[in-house]
């Protein structure tokens, strides 16, 4: 799975003014209607999973695309603008408390679309696991506070969710597309979008972590008391730090790193590990799906797998930079110009055909032109 996408997302704590939301909602409904009528719901979901197209949409709608607020505001506007009966797509979840409404809203959407109980349960599972993976299997200092689940009448879905790291005031957005998800715990993302790339980040979804995932499952199936003995053996009294075991990149400034990956977690959820022992998961996805298995447990099992059994996880930050332009050193990152041109063409056509005033069309097209980078080689 190729992960793509980048956008600078400094945290934005304000709220979009009501007058702007009203305008955004009206324009968003027109754009979605045209895209669904012209290309179908599947293509609309595919576009949402494209971080460049999503950013461009936010820009066209009139929101400041440089802040993390574009994620929450645009998905919130789409939730109001998209009508399941008209567009064949439902938007569930949202920011903060609204994210916890996703399972209930998925059920309502599923009944509206005539899905079976099993299908609705599968969609709820997809919502749950996408959030669990990005909160626990990838550890780069971000905790989710926004989860939007888009589901189409044919059962396909997209997840757009975002986490924040208050320590450096950055956000990170995750895009999932059901068509591309073969396994929830092996590089399942369509894109991971962020401003900061960590020198060290635990990524249990990387292909390189396959051996570590298997050992983590084997260890978790042991009695909790045996796991405790393993943890005690990892750090004997004479060992000053686990730093010597970690990638050399972590040696510089590791104390300032937002998550302490250089030491065994002090407080594992032993109750959850007891449940895992009784459940006896057959694979890493089943292990991760157990309630109570959180970041500390995942990291603790990964360190046991590496330090005792020699199966290293990936400590490489999975965020990718492929749509960015004008890097800090002035050298653009690689750009998929063909995909960019296609995204812009579809948005431009939707704006031109939208049933809005000429002045609003002109403003939207101007915002789109300002968003598109110049002088990018094909």
pLDDT band at 295 (very low <50, low <70, confident <90, very high): very high
Together in a domain, 24 and 55: yes
Residue 330: the pLDDT is: 33
Among the three residues 277, 307, 337, which one is the final residue of a domain in this structure? Answer: 307
Mean pLDDT of 14-41: 81
Q: Which domain holds residue 172?
A: 1-197+318-378
Together in a domain, 179 and 299: no
Together in a domain, 284 and 334: no
Residue 75 has pLDDT above 60, yes or no: yes
Task: Specify if 275 maps to a domain.
Answer: yes
Among the three residues 288, 307, 326, which one is the final residue of a domain in this structure? Answer: 307
Please give the tally of structural domains in the chain: 2
Highest mean pLDDT, choosing among 24-28, 68-72, 181-185, 198-202: 181-185
Residue 28 has pLDDT above 70, yes or no: yes
Mean pLDDT of 313-318: 94
Together in a domain, 282 and 170: no
Name the phi and psi angles at 75, rounded to 5.
Answer: -65, -35
Among the three residues 307, 326, 341, which one is the final residue of a domain in this structure? Answer: 307
Percentage of the chain modeled with pLDDT above 70: 71
Residue 253: the pLDDT is: 41
Together in a domain, 140 and 266: no
Mean pLDDT of 344-361: 68
Task: Specify if 202 maps to a domain.
Answer: no
Mean pLDDT of 196-217: 95
Task: Specify if 276 maps to a domain.
Answer: yes
Residue 343: the pLDDT is: 62
Q: Which residue did the predictor score with more confidence, 46 or 256? A: 46
Mean pLDDT of 64-82: 82
**pTM score over 0.75:** yes
Together in a domain, 261 and 125: no
Task: Specify if 312 maps to a domain.
Answer: no
> 57-66, 171-180, 194-203: lowest mean pLDDT where?
57-66
Together in a domain, 180 and 229: no
Residue 262 has pLDDT above 90, yes or no: no
Residue 238: the pLDDT is: 42
Residue 358: the pLDDT is: 64
């Amino acid at each position: 799975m190729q992960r793509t996408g980048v956008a600078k997302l400094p945290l934005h704590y304000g709220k979009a003014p009501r007058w702007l939301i009203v305008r955004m909602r009206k324009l968003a409904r027109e754009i979605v209607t045209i895209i669904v009528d012209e290309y179908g719901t599947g293509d609309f979901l595919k576009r949402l999973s494209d971080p460049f197209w999503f950013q461009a949409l936010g820009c066209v709608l009139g929101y400041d695309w440089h802040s993390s607020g574009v994620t929450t505001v645009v998905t919130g506007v789409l939730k109001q603008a998209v009508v399941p009966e008209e567009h064949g797509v439902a938007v569930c979840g949202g920011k903060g408390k609204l994210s916890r409404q996703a399972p209930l809203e998925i059920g309502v959407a599923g009944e509206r679309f005539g899905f079976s109980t099993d299908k609705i349960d599968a969609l709820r599972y997809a919502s749950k696991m996408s959030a669990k993976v990005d909160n626990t299997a990838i550890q780069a200092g971000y905790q989710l506070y926004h989860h939007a689940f888009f589901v189409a009448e044919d059962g396909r879905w997209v997840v757009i969710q975002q986490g924040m790291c208050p320590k450096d005031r950055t956000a990170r957005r995750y895009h999932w597309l059901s068509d591309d998800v073969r396994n929830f715990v092996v590089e399942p993302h369509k894109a991971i979008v962020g401003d900061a790339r960590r020198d060290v980040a635990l990524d249990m979804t990387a292909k390189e972590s396959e051996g570590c995932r298997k050992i983590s499952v084997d260890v978790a199936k042991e009695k909790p008391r045996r796991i405790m003995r393993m943890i005690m053996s990892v750090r004997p009294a004479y060992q000053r730090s686990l730093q010597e075991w970690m990638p050399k990149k972590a040696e510089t400034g590791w104390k300032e790193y937002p998550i302490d990956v250089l030491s065994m977690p002090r407080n594992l959820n032993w109750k959850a590990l007891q449940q895992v022992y009784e459940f006896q998961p057959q694979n890493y996805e089943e292990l991760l799906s157990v309630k109570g298995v959180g970041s500390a447990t995942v990291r603790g099992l990964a360190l046991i797998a590496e330090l005792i059994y020699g199966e290293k996880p990936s400590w490489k930050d999975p965020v990718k930079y492929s749509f960015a332009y004008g890097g800090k050193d002035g050298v653009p990152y690689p750009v998929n110009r063909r995909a960019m041109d296609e995204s812009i063409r579809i948005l431009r056509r939707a704006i031109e055909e939208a049933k809005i005033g000429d002045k609003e069309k002109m403003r939207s097209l101007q915002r789109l032109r300002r968003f598109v980078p110049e002088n990018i080689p094909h």
